[in-house]
A and B are shown apart, each in its own frame.
Chain A
Amino acid sequence: MQSETPSNTAPTDKSLYEQLRAWVLIGFQSFGGGMATLALIQRSFVEDRGWIKMEEFTRMWGVCQLAPGINLIALAMLIGRKLGGGVGVAIALVGMLLPSVSITLIMTAIYSAIRGSAQVQAALRAVIPATIGIGLVTAIKIAIPLLRQGWKRGRGITLFSILTLCASGLALGLLRMPVIVILLAAGLLNGIAFSVLNTVDSVTETGEAAV
């Protein structure tokens, strides 16, 4: 794997056509969900074409975690803007989404047509629980770095993080509270906890360090 573009060769042609071609290829090839798509984008723009430096790619991906909605669409927008301004954003969206959305629709349509068959029903009785299992692993994978971040901020925040996680689930599952209310409450309470506990913890740390 070459992480650096040799200095004697300029990055390959950045024309709008080349940009569109790169995105369309990603849209067609990224079978296997989000991680496959992210890997393809990184390989295509950073390694193969050298249009974006790895550090910049990492920073963009970090910012995308804070934007609402699908992170990969936000990433395509940031890369598109960097490569071609407003037109670049449009090219990124059309190029990545037209093939992938079309294939998604075709798969859904085929599925709708055959959903009545006994074989499809039998397969689905296994596929649906397995999909839910995959989703649960995704949830765990997202939760671990969040709890680790909490751990770095001290015991108080760690406890508060675990509490937030469980309380949000219970608020929906048992109390049937509206999702938006739960999310805003979780955000606001943690915002307060971070401002308050952060200072407490740093005081304790300084205290311990002094002893």
Chain B
Amino acid sequence: MNPLLLLGFMLKASLFSFSGMGNLPSLHADLLARAWADDRQFAEALAVGQISPGPTGLWVVSLGFLVDGLRGALLSLIAIILPPLLVLLVEKIYRRLSHLPAVDGFVHGLSLGVVGIFAVVLIQLLRGGPMNARTGFFVLAGMALAAIPRFPVSLIIALAAVAGLLLR
């Protein structure tokens, strides 16, 4: 695995995303194409990112560790710290341009594109495990609990783990 290329993929994904998990589709495409990671590792890293402290976006650090050990974790950390630095510049530019409909529209379309792609990638991640009614049940149960306002995400994960052990 070429570390510079891995850093490049992660930087690109972070640079063109606008939320913690927005970098998922781009990374998923690039790393799977080179067989550096599989659906399973993505799903596992996302799960760790949901329970661990800090932004959910730290899931990438977990992914970096899974695919390339401590080096991968360090590269992913660099890749998620550098792009947000642009906020210092964006603050100034946005103040000047926010009245233009085209700028508003670009950000709007970009955000919609991220969501549409994101949903498809999530569903694709299910390929890493068995596709059966039980899996479908846990997806729906996860959705139902996550829709409850202020229901802790870590509790959903814990409940799912217990249910998985009991229904074995």
Contact present for A68 and B47 (CB under 8 Å): no
Contact present for B65 and A195 (CB under 8 Å): no
Return the CB mask of A110-123 against B: 1 if under 8 Å, else 0.
Answer: 01100100010011
A90 shortest CB reach to chain B, Å: 11
Give the residue of B109, B129, B138, B159 whose beta carbon is less than 8 angstroms from that of A164: B109
Contact present for A142 and B102 (CB under 8 Å): no
Residue A167 is within 8 A (CB to CB) of chain B in the complex:
yes
From DSSP, what is the main secondary structure of chain A's interface residues? Answer: helix
A172 to B88, CA, bound (A): 32
Given A63-B90, A129-B135, A190-B109, CB of A198 within 8 Å of CB of B101: yes
> In residues 141-163 of chain B, which contact A (Cβ within 8 Å)?
141-147, 152-154, 156-157, 159-163
Contact present for A167 and B116 (CB under 8 Å): yes
A101 to B21, CA, bound (A): 16
Give the residue of B84, B104, B143 whose beta carbon is less than 8 angstroms from that of A68: B84
Given A63-B90, A71-B19, A132-B125, CB of A123 within 8 Å of CB of B109: no
Residue A97 is within 8 A (CB to CB) of chain B in the complex:
yes
B104 shortest CB reach to chain A, Å: 6
Instruction: Please give the residue numbers on chain B whose beta carbons come within 8 Å of chain A beta carbons, in ascending order.
Output: 12, 14-21, 23, 25-26, 29, 43-58, 61-62, 65-66, 70, 73, 77, 80-88, 90-91, 94, 101-126, 128-130, 134-147, 152-154, 156-157, 159-165, 167-168
Instruction: Please give the residue numbers on chain A whose beta carbons come within 8 Å of chain B beta carbons, in ascending order.
Output: 27-34, 36-37, 63-74, 77-78, 81, 93, 96-97, 99-101, 103-105, 107-109, 111-112, 115, 119, 122-139, 142-143, 146, 149-150, 161, 164-173, 178-180, 182-183, 185-195, 198
